[in-house]
Amino acid sequence: MKVDMKKMHTIGEAADICYVSRKTLRFYEELGLLVPDHVSPQNNYRYYSEDTVMLIPILKYYKQMGFHLQEMTGLSDTNDYFFHQRNFLSKLDSLKKEEERIQNCSEAVSDWISLLNEGTIAMENQMGSINLKYIEREHFYFLEESFEYDYKKSIININWTNYLEKSESEITGPVILEFSDYQAKAEGRIREATIMQKPVRNSKFLLPRRDFGGQMFLCMYHLGNHRTIDEKYRILVDWALEHKYQIGPNCYERYVIDFWSTQDPNKFVTEIMVPIIK
């Protein structure tokens, strides 16, 4: 079939018209997205018709909408607009999943920044005073485990990480350990702990959860190595007795700055939290 070359564009002209590179057009050809209408048998020069050149803005717009080049196969071969509808519905679903993933990442990073800021302020100001505060009720993932006073093993907890990964459950915020008896914890007699962390907003919630909060807590920061944290429990007990409060029987340790952020135990910041009633 004879080709009217006067109505054809060279690869350079097509590239200039649509603000793309020749390399891009050759790549499109390799993928079968934009095939030249004529290839000269003498010199392999590529020529494109006006209709073929007009496919380039469509490919650009698909790219703008987040389509990968491999997802654009068939655009030049179909007259069925339902083809585009199916493509868009499929892409919209994947974009929503990507949006959720980015939201989860953003939440986790923001929470970690908040923890570091909280810990820095506590450390710089040597905040060691006792506070009474109400903790809002939230749902937490949890796992009951043995506790051997090896804080690194309990905080960077491989069993916990594997437990979450198996159900594709994501968490955010600090690690919190719950102990059933604050006195046994303070005396080094506790042998079990429950690790807890908050699910991210788009978690699939396939794991059991438990409530945390919804009541008053007696709180105190412990600055430095975990080996001396039990001393703070005695201070909290004395304060509660003096002010005629009942505390416990359980307690929580919220690890603000820990092994996840630094290997220097002198920079650790831990919040001790004991339920309290008048």
Helix axes 11-18, 22-30, angle to 10 degrees: 110
pTM of the model: 0.80
pLDDT digits (tens, 9 = 90+) for 152-201: 999 999 999 999 999 999 999 999 999 999 999 999 999 999 999 999 98
Half-sphere exposure for 89 (CA within 13 Å, toward CB):
6
Residue 2 pLDDT class (50, 70, 90 cuts)? low
Which SS3 state, helix, strand or coil, does residue 156 take? coil
Res 270 pLDDT > 60: yes
Per-residue pLDDT tens over the stretch 22-35? 999 999 999 989 99
Q: Judge whether 14 and 59 are in contact, CB under 8 Å.
A: no
The pLDDT > 90 percentage for the chain reads: 78
Are the C-beta atoms of 220 and 232 separated by less than 8 Å? yes
Strand partners, 133: 217
**Dist CA 217 CA 240 (whole Å):** 11
In eight-state DSSP terms, residue 1 is -
Q: What is the pLDDT of residue 5?
A: 67
Q: What integer best gives the mean pLDDT of the chain?
A: 92
* pLDDT category of residue 9 using cuts at 50, 70 and 90: very high
